[in-house]
Amino acid sequence: MIIKGFNTFRNRITLLTGGLLLSLSLVLITYLYHVATTRLSTASGESLVNISQSISTMLSANLIEREREIILLSKRSSLFKEQDLSDLQEAIDQIKDSYKYYAWIGFANPDGVVLASGNGLLKGADVSQRPWFINGQAGAFIGDVHKALLLERLLPKSQTGTPIRFIDFSAPVMGEDGELKGVVATHADWLWVDDVLSSAFTQVSERKGVDIFIIDNENNVLYPDNDLGDIEVPSALPQENQFQSLVWQDGEDYLTSLVAVNFPESTNLGWKVVVRQPTAIAMADVKEVHRLLLVLGVFSTLLCMWLAYRFASSLSRPLERLAKTARNIQQGNRNVSFQDDSQLKEVTSLSRSLQEMMSSLLDRERTLLQLTVTLEAKVKARTAQLEASNRSLEALARQDPLTKIFNRLALDEALLKEYELAREHNTEFAIIMADADYFKKVNDQYGHTVGDNVLKNIANVMKDIVDSAGMAARFGGEEFTVLLPNTQIEKAQQVAETLREKIASTEMDTGLFVTASFGVAMFKMTDDHYEQVLNRADAALYKAKDRGRNCVVVSD
Ligand SMILES: Nc1nc2c(ncn2[C@@H]2O[C@H](COP(=O)(O)OP(=O)(O)OP(=O)(O)O)[C@@H](O)[C@H]2O)c(=O)[nH]1
C-alpha cells in the first residue's frame, strides 16, 4: 500500500536523497561518537595516571633525599670519638633543624643504647629491638609507616588529634677499621606526605572530586591519615601505570589510576599511589561531546532533509509547472504556453513536445469549430426548408386542388374542433350545405373545362362572402360546405341567402349563369357527432332541391 502523499515525485526524491544523506551523516556522527568517547576517556584516564606519576615522583625524590641525609650523617658519625659526642650532637641538631618533619634523630651504639639525639629525646633508651636498629646495622634502611611508641609521650600531640606516625630512616655507622660503631636514625613525621602532596593538590585542585591515596604493598591505605582504617581500595586495582573504571567501597564508580613509588635500592616498601575521580565527573567532557554530537545530529538531519527537499523541488518543479499548464489548457484557458526555461534537457524536450502537440491540437480544434458552425448553419437552413415544405404540404393536404379553397379533410378537422368547443363551452355553430343546380347539364352542354371553371367561380364567391366569419370548403363534386362558428340560425340563413343571390348573379363563363340550392343546420347539444349536423344540413339541401332549387331551406 502506498502511503498517501508518498506517491509524488518530489516526496520520493526527498525521502531517497534525504535518507542517503542522513545515513551518511549518521555513520559519520557514530564514528565521531566512538572516536571522541575513546579519546576523551583515554585522556581522562591518562590525566589521572599523570597525577599519580607526578605524586609518585615527588614521594620517591623525598624518600631518596631522606635516605641520602641519613647516609651522610652515618658517614659523618664515623669520625666521632666515643668519649666526645659533641661533634655528633652538633651534626644531629643541624640536620634536625634543616627539615621540620624530623621528629627524632639519634645515634645508638652497637648495644642499642641511644647515646645522642635531637633535644636529648630517648637518650640512654634501649632501642636494640626496634626494626630500624636491627636492620640499620646491615645497611641503609627505610622502615614502613608506624605509630610512635616511645616518643608518643615525649612529642606534642598533632593538631588533628590523629596518632603520630613515623617513617624511619637508618644507616650503620662504621669505624675506620670496618667495625660497627652504632646506628644513626631519623623518624620523619608522616605529615610530610601532606607537604609532598600539597603541590600536587594545587595542580589538581581544579579537577573536581579527585582523591589521592597512598597504599602499602598489602593495599592498606597509608594516606590520607583521616581516613585511615575507614577507606578500603578495591581488591582488583589497575595494572602499573594503568587506569580503569572501578566500583569502590561506597558503591560509586570511579576512574582509578595506579602508579608504584620508586624506592631507593636499599629498601622497597612497595608503596603505590592511587588516584581516583568519580566517573561521572571524569567523563563530563565525554557527555558534553555526546550532547554536542546529538545537537550536530539533529542539525545535520534537518540540513539533510532541507537539502534533499531543495534538490527534489528543483527536479519536480518544472514537471509540476507543465502539469499546471496542461490543467489550465484543459479548463479552457488557451492563452498559456508550456514554459521552456528548465535546465534539465529531458524536461526541455518534453516541454517543447507538449507545446507543439498543443499547437497542433488547437489548430484542429479551430478547424473543427469552423466546420461545426458551417454545419449548424446548413442544418438550420435545411430545417427551415423542411419546415416550409411541411407547412406547404400540410396546406396542400387541406386544399382542394381545383378550387384552391379548403377540402373535406380541412373541413372535418375544423368541424371536430368546433364541435368539441361547443360541447365544452355550450357555444353555437352553423353549417351551410350548397349544391350547384343541374350541373350535369353544364358539363354536358359546355364541357368539363367550363364545368371546372364554374366550380372555381362558385368557390371564389363563397370564399369572398364567408371571409373571416367562417370557413368555406369543397365538400366533393359540385357540393360545398360553409362552417360558421358562434353564429345563430338567422345569421346563417342570411349568409346562405347572400351566397345564393351572389352565385345566381355572377357570370360564371361567357354568358353562363348557374344557381345553387342551400341547406342550413345548427349544432344541437344532443348531437353525438358533428356529422349529425352535416346530415341535417344535407337533408335540408335535398328539401331545397325538391322545392325547385335556387332556394335556402333551414333544418328544424
Ligand atoms: N366539370 C366537372 N363536373 C363534375 C365534377 N364533379 C362532378 N361533376 C359532375 O357534376 C354532375 C352532377 O350531376 P348530378 O348529380 O346528376 O346532379 P345535377 O345534374 O346537378 O342535378 P341536381 O343536383 O339534381 O340539380 C355530374 O355530371 C358530374 O360528372 C368536376 O369536378 N368537374
On whether the CB atoms of residues 342 and 355 are closer than 8 A, the answer is: no
Residues 6+ apart with CB under 8 A from 354: 322, 325, 326, 338
Ligand 1 atom 15: the closest Cα is on which residue?
A: 440
On whether the CB atoms of residues 539 and 533 are closer than 8 A, the answer is: no
* Residues 171-176, mean pLDDT to the nearest whole number: 88
Ligand 1 atom 22: the closest Cα is on which residue?
A: 438
Distance CA 111, CA 231 (A): 41
Cα(542) to ligand 1 centroid in Å equals: 15
On whether the CB atoms of residues 495 and 482 are closer than 8 A, the answer is: yes
Q: Strands, DSSP E only, in 371-505?
A: 429-436, 471-476, 479-485
Atom of ligand 1 nearest to the CA of 477: 6
Cα(438) to ligand 1 centroid in Å equals: 7
* Residue 400 beta carbon below 6 angstroms from any ligand 1 atom: no
pLDDT in tens, 250-294: 888 999 999 999 888 878 888 999 999 888 887 777 778 778 888
- Average pLDDT over the chain reads 87
C-alpha cell, 442: 353544364
* Residues 154-178, mean pLDDT to the nearest whole number: 78
C-alpha cell, 94: 643541624
Cα(393) to ligand 1 centroid in Å equals: 29
Report how many helices (DSSP H) and strands (DSSP E) the chain contains, helices first.
12, 15
Cα(508) to ligand 1 centroid in Å equals: 16
State the amino acid at position 233 in one-letter form. V
Distance CA 102, CA 73 (A): 14
Phi, psi of 551 (to 5 degrees): -145, 170
**What ranges do the domains of the chain cover?**
1-333, 337-394, 408-554
Structurally, at CATH architecture level, domain 408-554 sits in 2-Layer Sandwich (3.30)
* Residue 545 beta carbon below 6 angstroms from any ligand 1 atom: yes
Cα(291) to ligand 1 centroid in Å equals: 130
Residue-wise over 350-361: b if at least 16 C-beta within 10 A, else e?
Answer: bbeebbeebeee
Residue-wise over 269-278: b if at least 16 C-beta within 10 A, else e?
Answer: eebbbbbbbb
Cα(441) to ligand 1 centroid in Å equals: 8
Q: Which of 41-55, 413-427, 453-467 has the lowest mean pLDDT?
A: 41-55
On whether the CB atoms of residues 398 and 410 are closer than 8 A, the answer is: yes
Cα(549) to ligand 1 centroid in Å equals: 15
pLDDT band at 201 (very low <50, low <70, confident <90, very high): low
Q: Which of 12-16, 70-74, 200-204, 234-238 has the lowest mean pLDDT?
A: 200-204
Q: Which of 19-28, 164-173, 462-471 has the lowest mean pLDDT?
A: 19-28
* Residue 477 beta carbon below 6 angstroms from any ligand 1 atom: yes
Is the preceding peptide bond at 172 cis, omega within 30 degrees of 0?
no
In the sheet with 114-117, reading across from the earlier edge strand, the strands are 114-117, 102-108, 180-189, 165-174, 141-147
**CATH classification (class only), 1-333:** alpha beta
pLDDT band at 470 (very low <50, low <70, confident <90, very high): very high
* Residue 12 beta carbon below 6 angstroms from any ligand 1 atom: no
On whether the CB atoms of residues 182 and 115 are closer than 8 A, the answer is: yes
Atom of ligand 1 nearest to the CA of 549: 25
User: 461 pLDDT exceeds 80?
Assistant: yes
State the amino acid at position 408 in one-letter form. R
User: 227 pLDDT exceeds 50?
Assistant: no
Report the 10 Å Cβ neighbour count for 227. 12
C-alpha cell, 187: 623518624
Fold agreement (1-333, 408-554)? no
pLDDT in tens, 38-74: 888 888 888 889 888 988 998 898 889 889 989 988 8
Question: According to the model, what pLDDT value does residue 427 have?
Answer: 94
What share of the chain in percent tops pLDDT 70?
92
Atom of ligand 1 nearest to the CA of 448: 1
